[in-house]
Amino acid sequence: MRTLNGRTPVFCDNCEERRRNKSLKGEKRRVDLLVETRLKGEESLIIIHVEPQSYEQTTFHDRMFIYFSRLYEKYRRRILPIAVFSYDKVKEEPDTLHISFPFFDVMTFRFLKVELKRKNWRDYIQQDNPIAAALLSKMGYTPEERVEVKKEFLRMLVRLEQDPARMALLTGFFETYLPLSEEEEQHLRMELQKLDPDEEGRIMELTTSWHEKGRQEGRLEGRLEGRQEGRQEGKREAVHVLLQAKFGDAAKALHEDIQKLTKEEHIDELLLKVTGAPSLQEVKDFIQEKVPKQIEKKRLQ
C-alpha cells in the first residue's frame, strides 16, 4: 500500500476478526489481512480486506459476505473485499452473492477477485514488486514456458536487489511451486548464457549461493516430486526456510506444530501467509487454527 495523505496504512494484526470469527455453522474463521487506509484525494478512512484462497470451495462467496457483514458491523466504514485465488485449476470463480424473491431484490454483494492462473506472467516481469516476482510461479504459463518463467524470475531478483532474507523468502516460495527438472535446469543455464555478461554473472552468483546453502542444510532438494506425502514434506521444509529467513531463530518454536499440518491445502495457505505476515504471532495464530483441536488445546495449556 502507498502512503496516502501523509498517513501510512494500518495493518490490523490484532483485530478481533483475525483472532476468532465464528461462522453461522460454529466454525472458527479468520480474516487474513485487514488494512485501514485512505483513497487518494479523500479524507475518510476505508477498510481493505484481502482473503487468499488456495483450494476450491463452493461456498467461498458466502464466506466473503459473512466477513464483510461482520467487518461493517464493527467499523461502519466502506470496505473493499478482495479474494486472491491461487490454486492450479483454471476456473471462473463466482464473485457475487445475490439474494432475491420473485417480487423483490434484497441485495447483491460483490468482491474483487484475483485469479492467479488467469494472469499472464509476462505482464508482470517489468514490475518493481518482489511479491509479483514470487507469484510468477502461480500464474498462467504453458509447460514449454517453465524455463523462461524461471529465467525472468531470476532477472527480476537481480534487478530488485533484495536483502538476503527476502531473497530466500521469495526464492523458497517460487521454487516450491515451480521446481525445474535437471533437464530444465540445463536448459535454463543455456538461456542465461545468452544474457548480457554482467547480468548473467550476477544471476550465477545468486544461484550458486542458493545451491551451496541447500546442500549444507539438506533442504528442499528432491522433496517436491513424487507421492503426496513427499510434496507435503517439501512444502513444510519451504515454510521452515521462509520463516527462518523472515523472523530468525524465533521461528524455530513453530517447527513442531508445522509438522502436524496434514492437509496440503493448509500447507499451501501457510506458504502464502508467511510471505505477507507482518509478525510471527500472526503465523502462529494461523497454524493453531489449522491443526486439530486437541493439538491446539495441548499447546495452549
CA 47 to each of CA 21, 62, 124: distance values in angstroms, whole numbers, following the listed order:
17, 19, 26
Helix axes 280-290, 228-247, angle to 10 degrees: 150
**Strongest mean pLDDT among 169-173, 219-223, 232-236:** 169-173
Residues 235-245, mean pLDDT to the nearest whole number: 77
The pLDDT tens digits of the residues spanning 245-277 come to 778 888 888 888 888 887 777 787 787 777 767
Burial (0-12, 13-18, 19+ Cβ within 10 Å), 210: middle
Query: Please, are residues 290 and 270 in contact by the beta-carbon 8 Å criterion?
Result: yes
User: What pLDDT score was predicted for residue 52?
Assistant: 86
Global pTM value = 0.62
The pLDDT tens digits of the residues spanning 171-186 come to 888 888 898 898 999 9
Q: Is the pLDDT of residue 170 over 70?
A: yes
Confidence band, pLDDT 50/70/90 cuts, at residue 21: very low
Residue with the bigger pLDDT between 150 and 217: it is 150
The pLDDT tens digits of the residues spanning 30-79 come to 666 788 888 888 888 899 998 888 888 889 999 999 999 999 999 999 99
Find the angle CA(291)-CA(294)-CA(297) to the nearest 5 degrees: 90
Sheet holding 45-53, edge to edge: 10-11, 33-38, 45-53, 78-85, 112-115
How is residue 241 written as a grid cell? 526456510
User: What pLDDT score was predicted for residue 31?
Assistant: 64
Confidence band, pLDDT 50/70/90 cuts, at residue 111: very high
Residue 115's H or E segment, with its range, is strand 112-115
How is residue 280 written as a grid cell? 510471527
User: What pLDDT score was predicted for residue 251?
Assistant: 82
User: What pLDDT score was predicted for residue 282?
Assistant: 82
